[in-house]
Structure 1
Amino acid sequence: MEKAILGLDIGGTGIKGGVLVKGHLEDIRSIPTPAHESKEFILETIALFIESYLDYDIAGIGIGIPGLVDVERGEVLGLANIPAFQHVELAKFLQERFFKPVFINNDANCFAIGVHKFGVGKPFKNLVGITLGTGVGGGIVINGHLYSGNYSAAGEWCSAPYLEHNFEHYCSGKFFHAYYQTKPKAMAKRARNGDPEAIKAFEEYGNHLGELIKHILYALAPEAVVLGGSIRKSYPLFEASLKKSLSTFAYPTVLEHVKILLSELDETAIHGAVALVDLEPEVVNN
């Protein structure tokens, strides 16, 4: 039987899985996350979900989580929206249960390595991935390797101070909720129908996102910045203002050679999780 790699995306509302076989992702499944149960109950839920995939010859398991991870130990330090899942030795638990290698990282880091290995980031050795949704996540690939930083916290531009709050406040769905009392998807529909207020909202959003990308360019000067998350689907609505904001970047040569790309992968989180299994031994941590 062909060897398979199992990827899991563990979130506050759902646990999603899929297997990579012969380079193709298949058999996508999902279950609700028992977010308010005990740590032991959650661990058993994850284990039973993995057991449902054991008809495949699983070579390894990769897991992305929305929180901080001790990558070397495979310990989840904290998981967003799951109160009981703090300081959990998830890799050890699963390795003892299934006798398979287990690799865990932050979900935004998984996004970056996923688009690098399987998506539009393939041609680039140095890239940054940014997820735009309920929040903002960032991941960094340097010389073809995922850079996690201490406790998988590299790329957390979301928390960097910006204007009166931080970048996440202005570059995620929180922006539309805070200033227009609506969700980005609803605002995008209005903008596509010619609503002046909605068009203005996305122009402002693009300006803020351009400021975030400029900070990234000053720090890393990557070859590409790949946008993911649900808000990327509205890119035509904020592309012009984003590029106008970027035009003030101090180094035109760097700006001329950076690509702003949209992820085309439907299951980026799972692609990123399976990518950990291949690349984790080469991860640069410090």
Structure 2
Amino acid sequence: MKYIYGVDLGGTTVKMGLFDQEGNMLEKWEIVTRKENNGELILPDIAKAIADKNEEKSIDKSDIIGIGMGVPGPITEDGRVLKCANLGWGIFSVADELRKLTGVEKIKVGNDANVAALGEQWRGGGRGFDSIVMVTLGTGVGGGIILNGKILTGSNGAAGEIGHLLVNPHEKRTCGCGKKGCLEQYSSATGITRMSKEKLEQTDTPSELRQYDHPITGLELFKAYKNNDALAKEIVDTFSSYLGKGLSHVAAVVDPQAFVIGGGVSKNGQIVLDVVQEKYEQDVMFALKGKEFRLAELGNDAGMYGAVRMVLS
């Protein structure tokens, strides 16, 4: 049997999976991301974890087809990272370094959001489509674009950063990226919490959201929305209006077959797709109406599947 390792490098943990040559996950585990000394231990730790698994499973190096990895930062097509602040990395070739450490020739590296999008296109919510846009609604708004089965990387590995599309030119607050009025400021979990806090403070509108003595979560917001809560409806309308507008802009550039929505906010299910799709249809040009909207299915495993797909492509 031949094997592939799929690696999803995060700021806290490294998710690792052992796959067969058909792309089936055989086993998965995690190791801690040790970021001290500008992240110099991260790749050696990953190489050691692979060597240990080879020994445990009696896998010969010649039976490893390759290693794929998603990294939280801009990555060029040839596997160079262009600074990764949350890991302490500068500019260097991750692919070359991992090749030296493992002795495995075929190493594929990509931006983690793009790699997760590839995983969803291959084995998740985007199955059956060649071209998708994946949107991850978490602490921020991440994105990945797959065109004709391939990651759209961009010249500096930063394509798909849809969370930083300008959707509100009148916003006064500054986004974490340095701009103002970014999609991420309204349609992320963080944005939902902020908008809910402001609405509750600025109005006297009765709302079931007032029962909570902690920052409002997406789960609580959408629960109130389903109960026809007026304040929740206002917040969800803002959330979905900006996300629908942002996706209409993306569609005008890349014309995907489908949008796949993941991340913590997507766990509210079909209702999220419904409200976003409604706003998208209002904002998009005729030729781009009627796109499919799907929920992501692979959760935290998407990055590992996408990493393996890169090796098999």
| TM-score computed with the length of structure 1 as normaliser | 0.87
Q: Please tell me the residue identity of whatever aligns with 1:167.
A: L
SS at structure 2 position matched to 1:26: strand
Q: Please tell me the residue identity of whatever aligns with 1:140.
A: I
1:179-218 residue pairs with structure 2 within 5 A?
A: 179-181=195-197, 182=215, 184-188=217-221, 190-191=223-224, 194=227, 196=229, 197-218=231-252
State how far apart, in whole Å, the 2-side matches of 1:88 and 1:180 are.
42
**Preserved contact between residue 71 and residue 111 of structure 2 (Cα < 8 Å):** yes
Structure number with larger C-alpha Rg = 2
Q: State the partner residue of 2:187.
A: 171
Matched, 1:94 2:98: yes
Q: State the partner residue of 1:110.
A: 115
Shift in Å at residue 195 of structure 1?
Answer: 7.7
Matched, 1:144 2:143: no
Matched, 1:68 2:68: no
Shift in Å at residue 111 of structure 1?
Answer: 1.8
Matched, 1:26 2:26: yes
Q: How many residues align?
A: 275
User: What whole-Å deviation, never above 9, does each CA across 1:217-244 have from its counterpart, x for those lacking one?
Assistant: 1112211111122211114343443233
SS at structure 2 position matched to 1:162: coil
Q: Please tell me the residue identity of whatever aligns with 1:59.
A: I
Q: State the partner residue of 2:89.
A: 85
Matched, 1:133 2:167: no
Matched, 1:3 2:2: yes
Q: Pick closer, same or farther for the CA change 1:58–1:262 going to 2, 3 Å.
A: same
Q: Please tell me the residue identity of whatever aligns with 1:224.
A: A
The gaps in structure 2 that reach 5 residues or longer are 172-180, 198-214
SS at structure 2 position matched to 1:68: coil
State how far apart, in whole Å, the 2-side matches of 1:161 and 1:193 are.
29
State how far apart, in whole Å, the 1-side matches of 2:285 and 2:23 are.
39
SS at structure 1 position matched to 2:279: helix
Q: Which moved more, 1:62-71 or 1:151-160?
A: 151-160
SS at structure 1 position matched to 2:74: strand
The gaps in structure 1 that reach 5 residues or longer are 280-286
Q: Pick closer, same or farther for the CA change 1:192–1:52 going to 2, 3 Å.
A: farther
Shift in Å at residue 5 of structure 1?
Answer: 0.9
**Preserved contact between residue 188 and residue 234 of structure 1 (Cα < 8 Å):** no
User: What whole-Å deviation, never above 9, does each CA across 1:48-105 have from its counterpart, x for those lacking one?
Assistant: 2222332344221000011111221x222222522x2222322111111222111110
| TM-score computed with the length of structure 2 as normaliser | 0.80
SS at structure 2 position matched to 1:86: strand
**Preserved contact between residue 4 and residue 20 of structure 1 (Cα < 8 Å):** yes
Q: State the partner residue of 1:41.
A: 41
**Preserved contact between residue 17 and residue 29 of structure 1 (Cα < 8 Å):** yes
**Preserved contact between residue 206 and residue 239 of structure 1 (Cα < 8 Å):** no
SS at structure 1 position matched to 2:227: coil
Shift in Å at residue 204 of structure 1?
Answer: 2.5
Q: Pick closer, same or farther for the CA change 1:80–1:211 going to 2, 3 Å.
A: farther
Matched, 1:16 2:32: no
Paired residue for 1:220, among 228, 245, 254?
254
Q: Please tell me the residue identity of whatever aligns with 1:46.
A: I
**Preserved contact between residue 95 and residue 108 of structure 2 (Cα < 8 Å):** yes
When you count strand as a share of all residues, which structure comes out higher? Answer: 1
User: What whole-Å deviation, never above 9, does each CA across 1:111-165 have from its counterpart, x for those lacking one?
Assistant: 2211222223232222211111111122222222222111221111212222122
Q: Please tell me the residue identity of whatever aligns with 2:92.
A: V
Shift in Å at residue 268 of structure 1?
Answer: 0.8
Q: State the partner residue of 1:283.
A: none
